[in-house]
């Protein structure tokens, strides 16, 4: 495999929708997601009304890459070997002594082997890896706080109620029925929560089609919500941008399940009508599986093994699954590469990075990502030392996952639309440096880590 990646080498280019092509106004959408769950829990499940209010400072708790240990009520930030770097019980920071008391002196989380390399969900833990998830992390932390105030808990059983809140707000019929809080609110004022897609992105997608690429949209959103999003960000003619649209894909199941487990369905007025034994032509479909899609792509491209790349924002649903099950190239959209996590390298310190510059220099994120004070960098952290050892700088589990499963990682689609189609990106590979797959800049925490390693 080449150590360089180029879109010009791909026959098929696929996109996720939410937080990939469709970017949200994060402050507003996060508050709405939180409120939609909290209101249900208070009204329907009898939880304390204290959950309904969130201070500005409390939002700092939200950080991608956390794991909720449901057995203990603890949130964990993990290193690549499962060592706990930081932890909170509810929203309360745990000391090194508290962590060691529960997880042992080596601070290794016992379920790490189960989740590492699978990203599976369990009744014992939950992995937060996208912006739809993060408000739920804060809510769960506040629930643990409230339970501790009323009665000291050794086991926690609130998770079933959180799942009920999710199902109430996001079930496939919720949009049509105007059910819950989330969909009715977005429908009423989409501009409050969504960012319009720049013309440069739309023109870029058209240029990909004009270059002979087959363009896919694969989203877990139901068709009616997908239509609302696409009409707002692209315009009512959005369907012309894509050869195939797949909604209600229920990723990662779309990639991992068999055709018998997850067939395609035709749609009529956003209702699934006919179950399909195969895919025969381009169009708009519901649910489905990658094997039937792959067979259609062979016909459409005229190639026995069409090369596919998929853009997405979720490690679990998009990046790991597309790479692990389908061997697709993957581009991770990671807004943590904007704002506080990125330091433009000095020419003398990281001159090779300048070679990766395109026409992104004028790109200014509307809502720069800020690093959580409670959790620190998404990419790297330190393992506290003991009396006989010094603290050790290490990459996080999430950072290593990015290197293992994404081809390249970018902050947004906007960062590459002005590059030529045959632009060659250094990919994540054993032959490249640990930071080469990040475009346009690597995270500052990794640059610092590399310097410290070289000095040692």
Assign 198 a pLDDT band (cuts: 50, 70, 90).
very high
Report whether the peptide linkage leading into residue 252 is cis, meaning its omega lies within 30 degrees of zero: yes
Residue 387 has pLDDT above 80, yes or no: no
Spatial contact of 159 and 144, defined as CB atoms under 8 Å apart: no
Q: CB under 8 Å to 188, separation ≥6 — which residues?
A: none
3-state secondary structure of 380: strand
The pLDDT of 52-59, averaged and rounded, is: 95
As given in the structure block, the two tokens for residue 281 are 């032509």
Assign 351 a pLDDT band (cuts: 50, 70, 90).
very low
What are the DSSP calls for 158-226, one per residue?
Answer: -HHHHHHHHHHHHSTTHHHHT-SSHHHHHHH-GGGTBPPPPHHHHHHHHHHHHTT-EEEEE-SS-HHHH
Residue 345's pLDDT is what? 44
In our burial notation (b when 16+ CB lie closer than 10 A, e otherwise), range 96-116 reads: beebbebbeeebebebbeebb
3-state secondary structure of 383: strand
Assign 366 a pLDDT band (cuts: 50, 70, 90).
very low
The pLDDT of 197-204, averaged and rounded, is: 96
Q: Which of 375, 411, 445, 382 is nearest to 63 (CA)?
A: 375
Sheet of 74-78: strands edge to edge?
92-93, 84-89, 74-78, 67-69, 125-127
Flag the least confident range among 15-24, 154-163, 417-426, 431-440.
Answer: 154-163
Q: Which of 263, 267, 292 is nearest to 279 (CA)?
A: 292
What are the DSSP calls for 56-117, one per residue?
Answer: TGGGGG--TT-EEETTTTEEEEEBTTSBEEEEEETTEEPPHHHHHHHHTTTTB-TTHHHHTT
Question: Do both 325 and 272 map to the same domain?
Answer: yes
Question: Do both 200 and 282 map to the same domain?
Answer: yes
Residue 388 has pLDDT above 60, yes or no: no
Give the domain-ending residue among 188, 203, 221: 188
Flag the least confident range among 50-64, 337-351, 394-408, 421-435.
Answer: 337-351
Q: Which of 397, 392, 404 is nearest to 434 (CA)?
A: 404
Question: Do both 172 and 106 map to the same domain?
Answer: yes
Question: Do both 55 and 74 map to the same domain?
Answer: yes
Residue 362's pLDDT is what? 35
Question: Do both 288 and 208 map to the same domain?
Answer: yes
3-state secondary structure of 251: coil
Give the domain-ending residue among 148, 163, 188: 188
User: Which CATH number characterizes residue 13's domain?
Assistant: 3.40.50.1000
Residue 289's pLDDT is what? 98
- Provide the percentage of residues in the chain whose pLDDT is more than 70: 89
Average predicted confidence (pLDDT) for the chain: 90
Report whether the peptide linkage leading into residue 15 is cis, meaning its omega lies within 30 degrees of zero: no
What DSSP state is assigned to residue 257? S
Residue 355's pLDDT is what? 40
The C-alpha angle with vertex 208 and arms to 205 and 209, in degrees rounded to 5, equals: 95
Total domains in the fold of the chain: 3
Residue 148's pLDDT is what? 87
* Residues with a known catalytic role: 16, 18
What are the DSSP calls for 278-297, one per residue?
Answer: S--SSEEEEE--HHHHHHHH
Question: Do both 167 and 39 map to the same domain?
Answer: yes
Question: Do both 39 and 14 map to the same domain?
Answer: no
Q: Which residue has the higher pLDDT, 351 or 357?
A: 357
Alpha helix ranges (H) inside 302-443: 321-326, 347-350, 397-405
Assign 363 a pLDDT band (cuts: 50, 70, 90).
very low
Question: Do both 257 and 328 map to the same domain?
Answer: yes
Question: Do both 299 and 179 map to the same domain?
Answer: no
Assign 383 a pLDDT band (cuts: 50, 70, 90).
confident
Spatial contact of 58 and 233, defined as CB atoms under 8 Å apart: no
Can you give the residue range of the structural domain that contains 372? 336-455
Residue 357 has pLDDT above 80, yes or no: no
Question: Do both 147 and 219 map to the same domain?
Answer: no
Flag the least confident range among 259-268, 365-374, 421-430.
Answer: 365-374
The pLDDT of 235-258, averaged and rounded, is: 97
Q: Which of 219, 122, 222 is nearest to 170 (CA)?
A: 222
Question: Do both 174 and 230 map to the same domain?
Answer: no
As given in the structure block, the two tokens for residue 395 are 């990459």
Intra-chain end-to-end CA distance of the chain, in Å? 32
Question: Do both 213 and 293 map to the same domain?
Answer: yes
């Amino acid at each position: 495999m080449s150590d360089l990646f180029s879109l010009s080498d791909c026959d098929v280019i696929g996109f996720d929708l939410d937080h990939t092509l469709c970017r949200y106004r994060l402050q507003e959408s996060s508050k709405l997601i939180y409120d939609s769950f909290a209101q249900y829990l208070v009204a329907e499940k009898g939880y304390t009304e204290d959950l309904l209010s969130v201070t500005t400072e409390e939002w700092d708790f939200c950080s991608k890459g956390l794991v909720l240990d449901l057995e203990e009520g603890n949130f964990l930030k993990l290193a690549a070997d499962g060592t706990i770097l930081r932890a909170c019980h509810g929203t309360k920071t745990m000391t090194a002594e508290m962590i060691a008391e529960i997880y042992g002196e080596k601070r290794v989380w016992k379920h790490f082997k189960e989740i590492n390399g699978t990203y599976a969900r369990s009744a014992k833990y939950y992995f937060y890896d996208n912006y739809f998830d993060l408000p739920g992390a804060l809510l769960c932390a506040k629930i643990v706080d409230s339970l501790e105030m009323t009665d000291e808990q050794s086991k926690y059983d609130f998770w079933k109620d959180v799942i009920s809140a999710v199902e109430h707000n996001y079930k496939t019929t919720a949009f049509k029925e105007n059910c819950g809080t989330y969909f009715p609110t977005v429908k009423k004022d989409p501009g409050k929560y969504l960012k319009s897609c720049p013309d440069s992105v739309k023109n870029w997608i058209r240029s990909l089609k004009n270059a002979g690429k087959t363009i896919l949209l694969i989203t877990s959103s139901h068709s009616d919500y997908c239509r609302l999003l696409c009409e707002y960000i692209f315009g009512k003619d959005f369907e012309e941008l894509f050869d195939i649209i797949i909604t209600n894909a229920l990723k990662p199941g779309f990639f991992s399940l068999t055709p018998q487990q997850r067939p395609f369905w035709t749609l009529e007025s956003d209702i699934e009508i006919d179950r399909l034994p195969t895919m025969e032509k381009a169009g708009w479909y519901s649910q489905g599986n990658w094997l039937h899609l792959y067979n259609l792509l062979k016909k459409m491209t005229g190639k026995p093994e069409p090369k596919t790349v998929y853009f997405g924002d979720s490690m679990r649903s998009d990046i790991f699954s597309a790479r692990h099950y389908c061997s697709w190239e993957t581009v991770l959209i990671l807004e943590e590469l904007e704002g506080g996590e990125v330091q433009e390298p000095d020419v003398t310190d990281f001159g090779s990075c300048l070679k990766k510059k395109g026409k992104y220099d004028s790109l200014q994120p509307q809502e720069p990502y800020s690093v959580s004070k409670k959790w620190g960098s998404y990419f790297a952290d330190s393992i506290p030392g003991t009396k006989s050892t010094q603290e050790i700088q290490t990459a996080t589990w999430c950072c290593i996952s990015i290197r293992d499963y994404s081809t390249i990682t970018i902050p947004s689609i906007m960062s590459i639309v002005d590059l030529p189609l045959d632009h060659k990106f250094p990919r994540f590979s054993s032959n490249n440096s640990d930071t080469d797959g990040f475009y346009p800049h690597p995270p500052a925490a990794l640059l610092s880590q590399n310097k410290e390693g070289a000095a040692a």
